[in-house]
Chains A and B, each alone.
Chain A
Amino acid sequence: NAGVTQTPKFQVLKTGQSMTLQCAQDMNHEYMSWYRQDPGMGLRLIHYSVGAGITDQGEVPNGYNVSRSTTEDFPLRLLSAAPSQTSVYFCASSYNSGLAGGSHTDTQYFGPGTRLTVL
């Protein structure tokens, strides 16, 4: 298994440009999520999906869109990039969410990250 993969690894955008960050997993995980990591703030949840066709907002969803047409893929779209979106973005997946109670099936595994700079 490749686990969780993300592309690109690095990206530089100009303000107002759009782009899509790709995330894929080959572990047949139902739950996928996107986080951004900023210095001193840990990881903050942007959007998440509990299964194909279902998405929901996290803590910091503004400026980002997601879709989940397949179990494997969960792309993150920036429609009009802003300097405030300069960050490191991580995708993660788990077999299910933590709503069912604590178990190994809700343990999330992370991709290597995409480092995005918006000028």
Chain B
Amino acid sequence: GQQLNQSPQSMFIQEGEDVSMNCTSSSIFNTWLWYKQDPGEGPVLLIALYKAGELTSNGRLTAQFGITRKDSFLNISASIPSDVGIYFCAGTSGNTGKLIFGQGTTLQVKP
């Protein structure tokens, strides 16, 4: 079936540093979504991307929909302790309409 490869699997950074994570797929996606999950909670939508090449920001977060429609990245600038959590990429394709998730990137921020 369709798969998303998300990297890195985990990151341990110093407060104030910038963070970058990405997702790649072997097939084309119509939508790319980035979610954050805090411990004991459900995933919360951070950024949604709907067009190839689209670059969207949400505060300190920036995400892009790859021009090939097979990849996306998420950047977090000037990280703070509350950025800690698991970040998931997800996408929907025209073949199934189903949402496919990456394995997640666990982010830890050292004050």
Contacts and interface: CB of A to CB of B under 8 A. Distances in A.
Interface of A: 4, 33, 35, 40-45, 48, 50, 58-59, 90, 92, 97-104, 106-113
Task: Bin chain B's interface residue count.
Answer: 20 to 34
A103 B51 CA distance: 9
20 contacts: A4-B42, A42-B6, A42-B101, A42-B102, A98-B31, A98-B94, A98-B98, A98-B99, A99-B97, A102-B30, A102-B31, A103-B31, A106-B31, A108-B45, A108-B90, A108-B99, A109-B45, A112-B42, A113-B40, A113-B41
Contacts, number: 78
B44 interface: yes
A76 B99 CA distance: 18
B63 interface: no
Tell me whether chain A's interface is mostly helix, strand or loop, or mixed: mixed
B88 interface: yes
A103 B43 CA distance: 19
A97 B103 contact: no
Tell me whether chain B's interface is mostly helix, strand or loop, or mixed: loop
A109 B42 CA distance: 9
A35 B42 CA distance: 11
Contacts of B42: 4, 90, 110-113
Contact of A45 (B29, B93, B99, B103): B99
B98 A48 contact: yes
B76 interface: no
Given A42-B104, A108-B45, 18 more contacts: A33-B98, A42-B6, A42-B88, A42-B101, A43-B101, A45-B99, A45-B100, A48-B98, A98-B93, A98-B96, A99-B96, A99-B97, A101-B94, A106-B31, A107-B33, A107-B48, A109-B45, A110-B44
